[in-house]
Amino acid sequence: MIWYLIGINILSFVIYGLDKYFAVKKVYRVSEYSLFILSIFGGGLGSLLGMKVFHHKTRKIVFWIVNIFTLLIWIFVIVNSML
């Protein structure tokens, strides 16, 4: 499980960086739906770090809400699985 979470968070971080690069170059973009899915499947921390590092989607409150909410849910799941 830990390797999955590490992988999905690295992937989320990289995708946010790529989407920011694509936005600057005005080419193909990653859909917001895909960014949300990455977060829901465990990439909330990587998404939040990607938002901050790449200054991407930081003005959209829905991204903050979804990423923080999913991160908290995953923390809850991990903590409860350890008990």
For residues 26-47, average pLDDT: 96
Percent of the chain with pLDDT over 70: 100
C-alpha dihedral sign at 21, 22, 26, 31: negative
Q: What are residue 19's phi and psi, to 5 degrees?
A: -65, -40
Tell me how far CA of residue 57 lies from CA of 1, 21, 49, 68, in angstroms: 28, 12, 11, 14
Q: Taking each helix axis from N to C terminus, what angle separates 61-82 and 44-54, rounded to the nearest 10 degrees?
A: 140
| Predicted pLDDT at 1 | 84
Coil, strand or helix: which one is 78? Answer: helix
Domain ranges of the chain: 2-82
Look up residue 54 and give its two tokens. Answer: 């790449």
For residues 14-38, average pLDDT: 96
